[in-house]
């Protein structure tokens, strides 16, 4: 029987996205009270009176999503909450409740765990979110964290990825690329003077969910689609366009770049716009507003939110994402999300 072996397809070869597609069909057995299942920042259930619930869950695995040498326990706790609240913000919701599951290596120090938990509590307190429970277990290996967050919104305010229409303007609530730059500084791939490095590392390790801005955008009644920028602006605009059956044009010169990132780019001789386009974990909100409502929207937003907003481009009827380079050249870009299994 030499050389004959049954071939086992491993998940690392199949890829994360193909696997998720292969399982997500046929999982809704009771559609009553279900507004949105898999495929947006949160699932949406309801309505109950005029309200709906937004639910999201995120898994953080040691050595995959975080490395202890690169983040403090308190920052890790804050970030574990922030990335979930960002998903609720991305649909226009108000965070309410949070559940925390921890698989903990028995050798982990109690002080480390308490600092982590202080980070969880600090972020929850800032956003009036209750820690309602969870589960705790030993882990034979590293720390694994699962957070499930529940938010609320009025049913008629919720923004999905799927509502963008040709002609809509594309907006963003903050600058791009700071978090990706911070990660490269943490990994010592870039260098910078200490004060500059601190600002950018903080952008990576202490993201803030844009809950207030998300509420203003949702309550304006004028936005058509929204997402949080976690995979990178190109990838996340790609998600909006894919769900909406449209395309998008981004103007490179319109991408908001912080002075810190510009300074780092000069020191390290790289193009900050490339990092802004592909770097992830910005946790800003990307959203769309019909061109004819844009003036009214900007007025409402500036009166009610302390966030900046930037117009990056517009939605087109033709599928695919294009970038207009500073010289006016249009480039079609291929968009793929990060695959946790292949590391690509």
Q: Concatenated DSSP letters for 261-329?
A: HHHHHHHHT--HHHHHHH------EEEEE-GGGHHHHHHHHHHH-SS--EEEEEEESSSEEEEE-TTS-
Q: Are 169 and 291 in contact (CB under 8 A)?
A: yes
Question: Which member of 109, 195, 326, 327 binds its own copies (CB under 8 A)?
Answer: 109
CB atoms closer than 10 angstroms to residue 87: 25
Compute the radius of gyration of the chain from its Cα atoms. Answer: 21
Beta carbon nearer to its own copies, 183 or 222: 183
Cβ at position 133, least distance to its own copies in Å = 5
Of 114-122, 184-192, 204-212, 249-257, the window that binds its own copies (rule: CB under 8 A) is 114-122
Beta carbon nearer to its own copies, 144 or 235: 144
Q: Are 18 and 10 in contact (CB under 8 A)?
A: no
> Counting contacts by CB under 8 A, is residue 96 touching its own copies?
yes
> Counting contacts by CB under 8 A, is residue 230 touching its own copies?
no
Cβ at position 149, least distance to its own copies in Å = 10
Beta carbon nearer to its own copies, 57 or 304: 57
Question: Which member of 1, 4, 5, 10 binds its own copies (CB under 8 A)?
Answer: 10
Pairing outcome for strands 169-172 and 310-316: antiparallel
Order the strands of the 34-36 sheet from edge to edge.
34-36, 43-48, 51-61, 144-154, 94-104, 130-138
> Counting contacts by CB under 8 A, is residue 67 touching its own copies?
no
Of 45-53, 250-258, 279-287, 311-319, the window that binds its own copies (rule: CB under 8 A) is 45-53
Beta carbon nearer to its own copies, 19 or 319: 19
> Counting contacts by CB under 8 A, is residue 336 touching its own copies?
no
Cβ at position 135, least distance to its own copies in Å = 4
> Counting contacts by CB under 8 A, is residue 86 touching its own copies?
no
Tokens of 272: 């900050």
> Counting contacts by CB under 8 A, is residue 69 touching its own copies?
no
Q: Which positions from 21 to 40 touch its own copies by CB under 8 A, shown as an x/- string? A: -xx--xxxxxx-xx--xxx-
Cβ at position 38, least distance to its own copies in Å = 5
Cβ at position 339, least distance to its own copies in Å = 9
Of 61-69, 172-180, 218-226, 318-326, the window that binds its own copies (rule: CB under 8 A) is 61-69
Cβ at position 253, least distance to its own copies in Å = 35
Q: Which positions from 127 to 156 touch its own copies by CB under 8 A, shown as an x/- string? A: -xxxxxxxxxxxxxxx-x-x-x-x------
Phi-psi region of 128 (alpha: psi -120 to 50; beta: other; left: phi over 0): left
Helices (H), ranges, 127-193: 178-186
Asked if residue 47 has a cis previous peptide bond (ω within 30° of 0), the answer is yes
CA 111 and chain centroid, separation: 30
Query: What residues does 153 pair with on adjacent strands?
Result: 52
Residue 140, classed as helix, strand or coil, is: coil
């Amino acid at each position: 029987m030499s050389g004959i072996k049954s071939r086992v397809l491993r998940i690392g070869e199949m890829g994360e996205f193909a696997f998720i597609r292969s399982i997500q069909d046929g999982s809704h057995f009771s559609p009553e009270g279900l507004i949105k299942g898999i495929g947006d920042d949160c699932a949406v259930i309801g309505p109950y009176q005029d309200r709906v619930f937004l639910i999201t869950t995120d898994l953080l695995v040691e050595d995959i999503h975080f490395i202890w040498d690169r983040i403090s326990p308190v920052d890790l706790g804050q970030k574990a909450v922030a990335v979930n609240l960002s998903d609720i913000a991305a649909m226009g919701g108000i965070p309410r409740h949070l559940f925390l599951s921890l698989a903990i290596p028995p050798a982990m120090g109690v002080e480390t765990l308490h600092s982590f938990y202080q980070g969880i509590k600090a972020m929850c307190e800032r956003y009036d979110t209750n820690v309602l429970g969870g589960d705790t277990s030993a882990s034979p290996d590293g720390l694994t964290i699962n957070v499930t967050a529940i938010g609320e919104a009025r049913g008629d305010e919720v923004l999905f990825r799927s509502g963008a229409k040709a002609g809509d303007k594309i907006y963003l609530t903050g600058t791009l690329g700071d978090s990706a730059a911070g990660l490269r500084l943490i990994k010592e791939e870039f260098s910078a003077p200490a004060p500059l490095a601190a600002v950018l590392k903080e952008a990576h390790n202490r993201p803030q969910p844009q809950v207030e801005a998300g509420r203003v955008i949702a309550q304006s009644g004028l936005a058509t689609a929204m997402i949080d920028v976690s995979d990178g602006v190109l990838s996340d605009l790609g998600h909006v366009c894919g769900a909406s059956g449209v395309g998008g044009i981004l103007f490179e010169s319109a991408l908001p770049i912080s002075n810190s990132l510009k300074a780092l780019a000069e020191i390290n001789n790289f193009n900050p716009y490339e990092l802004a386009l592909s770097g992830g974990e910005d946790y800003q909100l990307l959203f769309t507003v019909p061109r004819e409502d844009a003036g009214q929207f900007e007025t409402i937003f500036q009166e009610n939110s302390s966030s900046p907003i930037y117009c990056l481009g517009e939605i087109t009827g033709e599928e695919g994402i294009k970038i207009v380079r500073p010289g006016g050249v249009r480039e079609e870009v291929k968009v793929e999300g990060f695959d946790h299994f292949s590391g690509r």
